[in-house]
């Protein structure tokens, strides 16, 4: 438990130094997460260059072709290339994941820090609000939002971000609460460093790892929520290629042409697994408790 003791005594080393010191390269989960996430991002960015066919052009003569050289994952009922649709679909998913991650991170950090630092009534009110938002089932809130405000990519992003910002905020607040009483913060106050500067220099760097983990999880959830809304017909409207739409369009052919829905489901799972493993891995490698625990498992 030596690490926690030192962390309490002095400002922690920067995120980068800690990352370099950790055996993150040996963490299989983290590496898998990084590889999957990088792949996800690359596919989304380069998809249009890689796609062998136009994702929208129909060719009824060629409908429901099996996977082959021309069509890697076959064609759907309109004769559109499923592989190309998945490549293009990655863009919508990445856009949703990034936007939700960024929005929930930014808003959550601001709200959480404000609550944690201000204390008193501000804290109580903000905490109450956060807890109320947390009480809503996330997907239900997103669904109701999209139902009333119309189904578009922007509304899907807004809906999921609203559901996930409080999750980041509550973690941020907790982190601030633990950092604030530490000696170096008290010392900074004592010598008259402005609050914003303290937040920027000391609180943010220390709180980022757990908050990033939560933001990663919310990005992962966003990919699933987008797919779920598309499945219900409330996401990005067809014929736009999104992974959720491809699953839905493949649903009547699950028995006879299963590769359509299977490949889209697998794409979603790969992206979400990547984000989840990335989040887990970051937490594992940056959290001194978990890093050392292997040696103390008494049943080994």
Partner 1 sequence: MLRYAASRLILVIPTVLGMVTIAFFTLRALPGDPAIAILGEFATEQALQDLRVALGLDQPLWVQFGRFVRGLVAGDLGRSAITRQPAMREVMSVLPPSLMLAGCSVLIAILAGLPIGMVSALRQGSWVDYLLMVVTISGISFPVFWIGLIMIVLFAHTIKLFPAVGAGSPGDLLSQAHAMVLPAIVLAAGGTAYIARLTRSAMLEILRQDYMLVAKAMGIRERRILWYGLRNALPPILGVIGVTFAVAIGNAILVEVVFSRPGLGSLIIKATFSRDYQLLQAGLLVLSISVVLVNLVLDLLYPLVDPRVRR
Partner 2 sequence: MAFGTRLKGLGALVGLVLAATAAQPPAALDGAGGAALAQQAPGSVLRIRIGSDVTSFDPHRPSTIENTSFSVHVYDGLFGYNLRTMTIEPRLVREYSVSEDGLTYTFHLREGVQFHRNFGELTAEDVKFSYERVLNPATASPWRADLRAIASITTEGKYTVVIRLSAPNANFLHALTSRNQALILSKRAIEQMGNDWALNPVGTGAYMFEAWRPGERVVLRANPNYFRGRSPIDRVELMLIPEETSAEIALLNREIDVFFALQSPEIIQRLQARSGVTVDSRPALISCHLVLNNTVRPLNDVRVRRAMAHAVNRESLVRDFFRGTKVLTATPLTPEYQEYTTEVPQYPYDPARARALLAEAGLAGGFDFHYVTVALAPYDQFPVAVAEDLKAVGIRVRLTVMERAAYGAARAAGTIPSATTCPSNSPNPDTLLRALVHSDGFPPGVNTARYNGADELLNAAQRERDPAKRVDLYRQAQRQIMTDVPLIPLYADRLFTARHNGVEGVLTSAAFWVESYGATVRR
State the residue for tokens 């999209």. Answer: 146
Contacts of 189 (CB under 8 A, 6+ apart): 198
Site residues for partner 1, 249-278, by CB under 8 A, read 251, 254-255, 258, 261-262, 265, 268-269, 272-273, 276-277
Task: Say which entry of partner 2, partner 1, none residue 256 contacts (CB below 5 to 8 A, set by partner kind).
Answer: partner 2
* Position 111 contacts partner 1 (CB under 8 A): no
Q: Tell me, what DSSP letter sits at residue 185?
A: H
Give counts: helices (H), strands (E), the chain.
13, 0
**DSSP conformation class of 203:** I
Asked if residue 46 binds partner 2 (CB under 8 A), the reply is no
Distance of CA 254 to the CA centre of its chain: 29
Contact 217, 274 (CB under 8 A): no
Torsion of CA 228, 230, 236, 238, to 10 degrees: 160
Q: Which of 187, 251, 266, 290 binds partner 2 (CB under 8 A)?
A: 251
Exactly one of 52, 150, 194, 239 binds partner 1 (CB under 8 A); that residue is 150
Angle at CA 55, nearest 5°, toward 152 and 266? 80
Binding region for partner 1 (CB under 8 A) out of 16-24, 98-106, 179-187, 290-298:
290-298
63 is a contact residue toward partner 2 (CB under 8 A): yes
Q: Which of residues 121-160 bind partner 2 (CB under 8 A)?
A: none
Q: Do the beta carbons of residue 44 and residue 37 sit within 8 Å?
A: no
Interacting residues toward partner 1 by CB under 8 A: 29, 128-129, 131-133, 135-141, 143-145, 147-150, 162, 220, 224, 227-228, 231-234, 244, 247, 251, 254-255, 258, 261-262, 265, 268-269, 272-273, 276-277, 289-290, 293-294, 296-300
Interacting residues toward partner 2 by CB under 8 A: 56-58, 60-61, 63-64, 77-78, 233, 237-239, 251-256
């Amino acid at each position: 438990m030596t690490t926690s003791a030192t962390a309490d005594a002095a400002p922690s080393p920067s995120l980068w130094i800690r990352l370099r010191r950790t055996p993150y390269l040996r963490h299989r989960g983290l590496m898998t997460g990084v590889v999957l996430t990088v792949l996800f991002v690359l596919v989304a960015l380069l998809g249009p260059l890689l796609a062998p066919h136009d994702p929208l052009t129909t060719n009824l003569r060629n409908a429901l072709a099996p996977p082959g050289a021309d069509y890697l994952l076959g064609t759907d009922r309109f004769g559109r290339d499923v592989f190309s649709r998945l490549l293009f679909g990655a863009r919508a998913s990445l856009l949703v994941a990034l936007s939700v991650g960024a929005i929930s991170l930014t808003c959550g950090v601001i709200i959480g820090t404000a609550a944690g630092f201000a204390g008193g009534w501000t804290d109580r009110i903000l905490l109450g609000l956060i807890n109320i938002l947390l009480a809503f089932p996330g997907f239900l809130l997103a669904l109701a939002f999209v139902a009333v405000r119309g189904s578009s990519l922007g509304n899907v992003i807004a809906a999921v971000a609203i559901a996930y910002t409080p999750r980041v905020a509550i973690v941020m607040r907790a982190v601030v609460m633990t950092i604030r009483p530490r000696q170096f913060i008290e010392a900074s106050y004592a010598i008259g460093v402005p609050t914003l500067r303290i937040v920027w220099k000391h609180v943010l760097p220390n709180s980022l790892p757990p908050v990033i983990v939560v933001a990663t999880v919310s990005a992962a959830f966003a990919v699933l929520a987008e797919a779920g809304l598309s499945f219900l017909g409330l996401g990005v409207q067809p014929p736009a290629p999104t992974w959720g739409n491809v699953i839905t369009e493949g649903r009547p052919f699950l028995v006879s042409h299963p590769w359509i829905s299977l490949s889209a489901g697998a794409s979603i799972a790969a992206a979400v697994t990547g984000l989840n493993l990335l989040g887990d891995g970051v937490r594992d490698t940056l959290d001194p408790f978990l890093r050392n625990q292997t040696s103390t498992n008494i049943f080994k």
